[in-house]
């Protein structure tokens, strides 16, 4: 059996968690990541023995048998690189659909993030649209969070503001940004609402809280959030100032043509 800490996906997960903490997106034990893996990807790194079973508090029958590398509850992202086995866990969705089988990790007796049901709901929603989706990432980017205090939460207007801040935004997230009003975190209700929003956008803002992102791999998902956060940072720096210049809808249509993307229907004039 190979050393699991040398697996490419493990190295990427550790690096991503560390980078997210470095960016200030995951203070204390804030934020969580789940990475969908195939049996082929994990089989050389685990014995196949179930260490223990952990209730999901959610029926994940659509993804029975799937493997996920998941950050732990109460864990600090800054510590992942120092002790991956305590801060991360590799789970498999049990055949009953309502339990997770721990295959590796949570070595201190811990368990997966309390947001895992929300993650799994979003995985299911995104997989129905894009079978290559592998990642759900939740964090608390400072400027996106700040923006929800002063900007209308109308999804079209929120998206248009972000698109106008950076030339690359409409290219990186042409599907726009969906926004939820404040909801109690750690509940199935916010998970269900997020999954519904994930059907039309890979970015879902949790007002006064943070953001959820989805993507095909860790780099893509990180970059998606990073781009939106950069746009929000620019907005927060200029929101109180008169805007002399801005990206126009005509210019964004030129970007659509140049990069072969299509902005969300009805979001550009």
168 is catalytic: no
Catalytic entry in 101, 115, 226, 229: 115
Q: For residue 183, which phi and psi values (nearest 5 degrees)?
A: -140, 155
CB neighbour list of residue 93: distance below 8 Å, 6 or more residues apart:
56, 60, 63, 64, 65, 66, 68, 99, 100, 101, 120
Q: Report the C-alpha gap between 87 and 105 in whole angstroms.
A: 7
Q: Is the dihedral of CA 119, 124, 126, 131 positive or negative?
A: positive
Active-site residue list: 115
């Amino acid at each position: 059996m190979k050393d699991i800490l040398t697996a490419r996906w493990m190295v990427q997960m550790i690096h991503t968690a560390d980078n997210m903490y470095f960016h200030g997106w995951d203070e204390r034990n804030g934020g969580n990541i789940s990475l969908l893996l195939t049996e082929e990807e994990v089989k050389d790194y685990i014995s196949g023995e179930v260490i223990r079973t952990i209730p999901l508090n959610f029926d994940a029958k659509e993804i029975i048998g799937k493997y996920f590398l998941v950050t732990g509850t109460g864990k600090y992202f800054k510590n992942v690189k120092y002790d991956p086995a305590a801060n991360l866990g590799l789970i498999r969705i049990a055949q009953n659909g309502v339990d997770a089988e721990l295959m590796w990790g949570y070595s201190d007796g811990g368990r997966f993030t309390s947001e895992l049901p929300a993650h799994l709901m979003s995985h299911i929603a995104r997989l129905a649209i894009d079978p290559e989706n592998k990642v759900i990432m939740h964090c608390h980017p400072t400027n996106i969070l700040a923006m929800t205090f002063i900007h209308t939460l109308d999804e079209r207007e929120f998206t248009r503001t972000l698109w106008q801040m950076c030339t690359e935004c409409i290219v990186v997230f042409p599907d726009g940004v969906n926004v939820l009003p404040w909801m109690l975190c750690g509940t199935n209700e916010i998970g269900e609402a997020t999954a519904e929003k994930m059907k039309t956008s890979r970015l879902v803002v949790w007002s006064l809280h943070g953001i959820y992102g989805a993507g095909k791999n860790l780099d893509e998902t990180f970059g998606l959030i990073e781009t939106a956060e950069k746009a929000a940072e620019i907005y927060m720096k200029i929101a109180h100032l008169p805007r002399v210049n801005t990206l126009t809808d005509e210019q964004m249509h030129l970007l659509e043509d140049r990069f072969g993307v299509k902005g969300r229907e009805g979001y550009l004039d």
